[in-house]
Homo-oligomer: A and B are copies of this chain.
Amino acid sequence: MNSKITTQPLRVEPFSEDFTGKLSWGVLGNLLLRAANIHASQHRFGYDNVLENKHAWVLSRLVVEMEALPVSGEDFDVSTWVTGVFRQFTDRLYAVTGAANRVYGYAHSVWALIDMESRQPVNLEQLPEGGFSDAFVEKSIPIPGPGRIRVKSQTPCRVLTTYYSDLDINGHVNSIRYIQMMLDLFPKETFEHQRVKRIDVAYCAESYCGETLCFFSEEKAAGVCAVEIRKDDGTVVVRGEITFAD
């Protein structure tokens, strides 16, 4: 057991599934974010720790690739660790596993630490006393990392407004809520016949309560759909790519 890797035992609780009976992507996403904070807090660089220096962690990229999702009542583990820093970014990796060494999938996230006053990213290579480098583990995961996502469409396929229940504790639309909104572009039948295999998200700007979000989507290949979420002034909020498999 490597103490630099934090493993959380979890269960697919009632009301955390989608209509197919599998753990919903929304709940999975929030569990990944929660695991990040638990791990970081154990190594003294969690939200509360960095707040002492008026810093805050901001999610920049999130890639989740699942071979399968656990079903109602099933036990599973979320393990997470950080591999290092590069300038203003740090990579946090995840493995989602089950009984008998079953692998459900992996996730790759990229985070920046911002100064809450200047809103500028901090250089993570120059943190006092080496920052959180004691926690680094050289352990990779067998999925492609974040990719380049481009959507040229100028015709929105959906326009919606953000509301109170979309917000996180910072008053921003919750990072995982964007994933739900992107999945909601597909009809129910899509999820009856195919499963979501991979979601790759680039977080470009924050959005706030009452803002208008415009969704633009393009099929990139069979089963691969890119989505861009823009405010009505054209600011890109999120880019995402969703890959379906049979």
Chain A residues engaging chain B, CB cutoff 8 angstroms:
13-19, 21, 24-26, 30, 33-34, 37-38, 47-48, 72-73, 163-171, 174, 176, 180-181, 183-184, 186-188, 191, 209-210
Say yes or no: A33 contacts B15, CB within 8 Å.
yes
Residue in B closest to A192 when the chains form the complex, CB atoms: B171
Say yes or no: A15 contacts B168, CB within 8 Å.
yes
Q: How far, in angstroms, from A186 to B163 measured CA to CA in the complex?
A: 8
Q: How far, in angstroms, from A156 to B156 measured CA to CA in the complex?
A: 25
Q: Chain B residues with Cβ under 8 A from A15's Cβ?
A: 30, 33-34, 168-169, 174, 176
Say yes or no: B13 contacts A34, CB within 8 Å.
yes
Say yes or no: B24 contacts A165, CB within 8 Å.
yes
Say yes or no: B188 contacts A21, CB within 8 Å.
no
Q: How far, in angstroms, from A210 to B191 measured CA to CA in the complex?
A: 13
Q: Chain B residues with Cβ under 8 A from A181's Cβ?
A: 165
Say yes or no: A167 contacts B18, CB within 8 Å.
yes
Question: Known: A15-B30, A15-B34, A34-B14. Contact between A184 and B163, CB under 8 A?
Answer: yes
Instruction: Return 30 A-B CB contacts under 8 Å, by A number.
Output: A13-B34, A14-B33, A14-B34, A14-B47, A15-B33, A15-B34, A15-B169, A15-B174, A17-B168, A18-B165, A18-B167, A18-B169, A19-B164, A19-B168, A19-B169, A19-B170, A19-B171, A19-B209, A21-B169, A25-B165, A48-B73, A72-B169, A164-B186, A164-B187, A164-B188, A165-B180, A165-B183, A165-B184, A187-B209, A188-B210
